[in-house]
Amino acid sequence: MSTATPRPAAPATTATWHLGDIAVHRVDEIELPRRTGPWLLPDATKEVLDQAPWLRPDFADAEVPRLASHSFAVEAGGLRILVDTGIGNAKPRANPAWNGLDTDFMARLAAAGFPPESVDLVITTHLHTDHVGWNTRLDGRDWVPAFPNARYLTSRTEWDHWAAVDLDEARTQMFRDSVHPVRDAGLYDTVAVPEQGHEVAPGVRLVPAPGHTPGQVAVELCGSDRRAVITGDSIHHPVQLSHPHVHSCVDADSAQAVRTRAGLLDGLADTDALLLGTHFPHPTAGTVRREDGRYRLLAEPGTQQPTTAGA
């Protein structure tokens, strides 16, 4: 029996946030199954969710957090930049919800104005399966770079970490079909990311966000009017604003992940900077506010931009 997810139609609109001379578009892949929340964030119980009423109805149902897989397509400095590439199609995966997907992600990306050959830069916040899948596509029986004219980037710390550890079969498969073909094509570059960050394009800076993985980065966007931060998996879900100590079951170093998350939230709180969550369901983005000794997200859904496939 096929495990492929049915292919939905590409949306007529896409959410866009304008930061002045930088634009950010959310490109949907799939909504993650309801069971993902309790598995990924086991401490995000109904009782914890109840302590943050603002999470419902957008970010949680009555019992569990909602999560999604999407990418952010960024226009900055005349470049087209893709931040993380989701799960990917036709990939053999141990997780049944990710195995053999058949989504129209590429049509959605093109409809947002980013046909694959136009992408200049692909940023990998960290080398996990659900962030590298569309790095490659099938060409006959071979996996080839999906963005042939792009430079792919990840942090040197992240790359060196995975190069030095013994990988289980599931992760070995992920590297085999989604990372090594890009490396072998000479398109993957690693960059040192110091504490103050590293600018990779005009207004686009990688900043260290360790904990979930040793070399994870967040992506800071400094537009002419406004700043935004794409979280990677330093914040999986908005419940981690009200409860920063709720951590992911797959964090490499949960204590470091909490410190990273707290520092990120403290720097964003009570400013007009946007927080863009890599796994947040719609409305995806918002500003961070202090409230009753905790943080909360004031959602900003962005503008709904008409799209035309192949634009």
pLDDT tens-digit map of 3-59: 444 444 444 468 999 999 999 999 999 999 999 999 999 999 999 999 999 999 999
Beta strand 121-123 with 151-155 is parallel
| Residue 134, number of CB atoms within 10 A of its CB | 26
CA distances from 188 to 213, 238, 270 (A): 19, 31, 37
- Name the residue among 97, 46, 26 with its Cα closest to residue 281: 26
- Tokens 């960290």 identify what position? 126
Cα→Cα distances 175→90, 136, 167, Å: 15, 11, 9
Q: Are 311 and 113 in contact (CB under 8 A)?
A: yes
CATH number for the domain running over 13-302: 3.60.15.10
Q: What is the pLDDT of residue 14?
A: 87
Mean per-residue pLDDT over the chain, rounded: 94
At CA 71, angle to CA 241 and CA 204, rounded to 5?
A: 80
User: Whole-structure pTM over 0.75, yes or no?
Assistant: yes
Q: What is the pLDDT of residues 187-239, one digit of tens each?
A: 999 999 999 999 999 999 999 999 999 999 999 999 999 999 999 999 999 99
Where do the domains of the chain lie?
A: 13-302
**In angstroms, what CA-CA distances link 96 with 32, 35, 233?**
11, 12, 21
Per residue in 97-131, pLDDT tens? Answer: 999 999 999 999 999 999 999 999 999 999 999 99
Residues 6+ apart with CB under 8 A from 271: 227, 287, 288
